[in-house]
């Protein structure tokens, strides 16, 4: 027998599991299907609206808006990697999933998460050049540079997500077939694995710390310089616009990094926290960015907001123009009948 009470040879390694998210809410789970479905549809619709606005308006075909559209596209992908299986789990108490399906879901979760981080770095670079070197902005922020940044983002995301998935696939899962989580997160899978998992735990923690530390150092340096330069701008209107734009980016950064940090702390430190609380923190961590980002960028970014208002109000105006002759005709007919 091994130290943990399992057989040392681990002859049994399960390849099919059951996702049981929020196990303490068994009676309320069916009632949450409609609100969660509405949340998923809202995430898809709100993000798609902003993406469509950026794509349809030539005046928004600039690096900052393109990066915003890419970030929101990643939000849609992240929600789609999590929500359908999560909703299925609320319909059926035990939600079956294969090991390969679990690993695929884990890959897309961490791949899109890393893409979020990398796009925020690219947006910080864009704002740094725009505010600190405005005269060279069009020369520096070219489509070629955007292509390089996109390649860097994809490569770095794959460089973190792939090793985690490969390492997890080599583990032996012999404790249970029940994953007490609504999705296949790295720590959730390790919780049902057996054997010596020290290396897995240390690698996951090291990757998280290295990624977050590197990103926060760059983001902190960039936005400190940006804010300092913005306060040196003599024009009050230009200064307010620069600070307002940076404020939107900083709100998104705080949302993504603070939610992720709180989840990691609870999973690794607070062992007495219930499974439902852990599941709730993971849901906030995975879904909050996709919910708030289109609101932050769609409302706080004036150029995007104006085009959305024009597009929505334009449709109403066109409908009124079409319906006005009908109303006039009806009024004339009523007047004749009354006469």
- Tens-digit pLDDT profile for residues 260-295: 777 777 776 666 778 888 888 889 889 999 999 999
| Token pair of 82 as six digits | 């999590």
What ranges in the chain are assigned the alpha helix state H?
33-56, 63-91, 99-132, 137-140, 143-169, 186-190, 198-231, 236-268, 275-300, 302-338
- Tens-digit pLDDT profile for residues 2-60: 444 444 445 678 889 999 888 888 777 788 889 999 999 999 999 999 999 999 998 99
Q: Is the dihedral of CA 89, 84, 113, 241 positive or negative?
A: negative
- Please state the pTM of the whole predicted model: 0.84
172 bridge partner residues: 194
Mean per-residue pLDDT, 227-249: 80
Per-residue pLDDT, 79: 95
- Tens-digit pLDDT profile for residues 114-128: 999 999 999 999 999
What's 92's DSSP letter?
Answer: S
CA distance 208 to 261: 10
pLDDT at 98 over 90: yes
Res. 324 pLDDT band, cuts 50 70 90: low
DSSP states of 50-69: HHHHHHH-GGG-SHHHHHHH
**Helices 198-231, 99-132: crossing angle, 10 deg rounding:** 20
């Amino acid at each position: 027998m091994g130290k943990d009470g399992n057989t040392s040879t681990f002859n049994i390694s399960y390849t099919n599991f059951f996702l049981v998210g929020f196990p303490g809410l068994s009676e309320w789970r069916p009632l949450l299907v409609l609100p969660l479905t509405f949340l998923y549809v809202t995430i898809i619709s709100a993000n798609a609206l902003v993406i469509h606005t950026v794509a349809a308006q030539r005046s928004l075909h600039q690096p900052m808006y393109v990066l915003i559209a890419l970030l929101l596209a990643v939000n849609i992908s992240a929600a789609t990697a999590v929500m359908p299986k999560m909703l299925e789990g609320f319909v059926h108490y035990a939600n079956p999933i294969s090991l390969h399906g679990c690993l695929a879901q884990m890959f897309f979760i961490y791949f899109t998460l890393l893409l979020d981080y990398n796009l925020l770095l690219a947006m910080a670079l864009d704002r740094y050049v725009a505010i600190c070197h405005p005269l060279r902005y069009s020369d520096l922020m070219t489509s070629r540079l955007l292509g390089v940044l996109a390649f860097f983002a994809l490569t770095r995301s794959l460089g973190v997500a792939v090793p985690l998935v490969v390492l997890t696939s080599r583990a032996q899962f012999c404790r249970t077939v029940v994953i007490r989580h609504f999705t296949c997160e790295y720590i959730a899978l390790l919780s049902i694995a057996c054997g010596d998992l020290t290396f897995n735990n240390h690698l996951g923690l090291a990757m998280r710390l290295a990624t977050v530390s590197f990103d926060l150092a760059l983001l902190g340096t960039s936005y400190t310089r940006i804010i300092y330069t913005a306060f040196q701008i003599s024009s009050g209107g230009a200064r307010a616009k620069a600070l307002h734009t940076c404020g939107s980016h900083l709100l998104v950064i705080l949302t993504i990094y603070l939610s992720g940090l709180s989840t990691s702390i609870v999973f690794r430190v607070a062992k007495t926290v219930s499974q439902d609380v852990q599941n709730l923190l993971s849901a906030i961590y995975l879904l909050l960015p996709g919910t708030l980002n289109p609101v932050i960028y769609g409302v706080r970014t004036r150029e995007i907001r104006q085009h959305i208002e024009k597009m929505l109000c334009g449709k109403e105006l066109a409908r009124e123009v079409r319906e006005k002759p009908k109303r006039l005709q009806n009024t004339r007919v009523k007047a004749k009948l009354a006469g």
